[in-house]
Amino acid sequence: MMPGKWLDIGPTTQIEPGMAATLPVEGGEEIAVFHTVNGRFYALVNSCPHRQGPLSQGIVHGDSVTCPLHNWRISLSTGAALGDDSGCTPTIPLKIDGGRLFLLREAVVAPRGAAGPRAA
């Protein structure tokens, strides 16, 4: 069976608005899936561009998250650090269909920043 292009990660209702949930990837980098108070969903690598703080644990406000370690503010849509800080966290394409969340499979298992398949 051919795996689909999109990876079903379950219903949208499993993440409360204003919160995030984590998705470890074996041999890869953990992903954080965010649900904003305004009902938007985003997926990013769960790692702050500053010193790899787990973004999933930050306070979500508007479409950004404040990293729990040193308060950098990261854009959920682009992954870029906001304000005076600079750096960028990879984002994962996400879509919603029939009340379920899907992540682009190749982005989930692709190595950080680069293209091509990830070595397991």
Partner 1 sequence: MNAQTRMEDMVSAREKLVVIGNGMAGCRAVEEILERDGDRYDITIFGAEPRVNYNRIMLSPVLAGEKTFDEIVINSAEWYAENDIELVSGDPVSHIDRTAKTVLSQSGRVEPYDKLLIATGSDPFIVPIPGNDLAGVITFRDLDDVDKMLAAAEKGGDAVVIGGGLLGLEAAHGLSLRGMKVTVVHLMPTLMERQLDEAAGYLLRQELEKRGQTILTGANTKVIHGMEGHVAGIELEDGTRLKADIVVMAAGIKPATGLAKSAGLECERGIVVDDHMVTSDPDILAVGECVQHRGACYGLVAPLWEMCRSLADHLTDAPTGYAGSVTSTKLKVSGIDLFSAGDFSGGDDCEDIVMRDAARGVYKRVVLKDNKLIGAVLYGDTADGNWYFDLLKKEEDVSDIREGLIFGQAFASGGALADPNAAVAALSDDAEICGCNGVSKGKVVQCINDGAHSLDAVRSQCKASASCGSCTGLVESLLSLTLGGEVESGPASTCKCTSFTHDDVRRLIVEKQLKEIPQVMQELHWTTPDGCSSCRPALNYYLLCAWPGEYEDDQKSRFVNERLHANIQKDGTYSVVPRMWGGVTSPKELRAIADVVEKYDARMVKVTGGQRLDIFGIRKEDLPAVWADLNAAGMVSGHAYGKSLRTVKTCVGSEWCRFGTQDSTGLGIKIEQMTWGSWMPHKFKIAVSGCPRNCAEATIKDFGVVCVDSGYELHVGGNGGIKVRATDLLCKVETEEEAMEHCAAFIQLYREDAHYLERTAPWLERKGLDWIKAQMFDDPERVGRLARRFRYSQQFMQDDPWARRAAGERADLHRHLATVRPMETEYA
Binding site for partner 1 (CB under 8 A): 1, 3, 7, 9-10, 13-19, 21-28, 31, 33, 36-40, 51-54, 57-64, 66, 68-69, 71, 73, 75-78, 80, 82, 97-98, 105, 108-109, 118, 120
- Strands 64-66 and 100-104 turn out to be unpaired
Which residues sit at the interface with ligand FES, rule CB under 6 A?
Answer: 48, 50-53, 67, 69-72
Q: Which does 26 bind (CB under 5 to 8 A by kind): ligand FES, partner 1, none?
A: partner 1
Spatial CB neighbours of 19, under 8 Å, sequence gap ≥ 6: 34, 35, 60
SS3 76: coil
Q: Work out how close the CB of 98 gets to ligand FES at its nearest, in angstroms, rounded to a whole number.
A: 35
Side chain identity at 100, as an amino acid letter?
Answer: R
Give the Cβ contact number of residue 76 at 10 Å.
Answer: 22
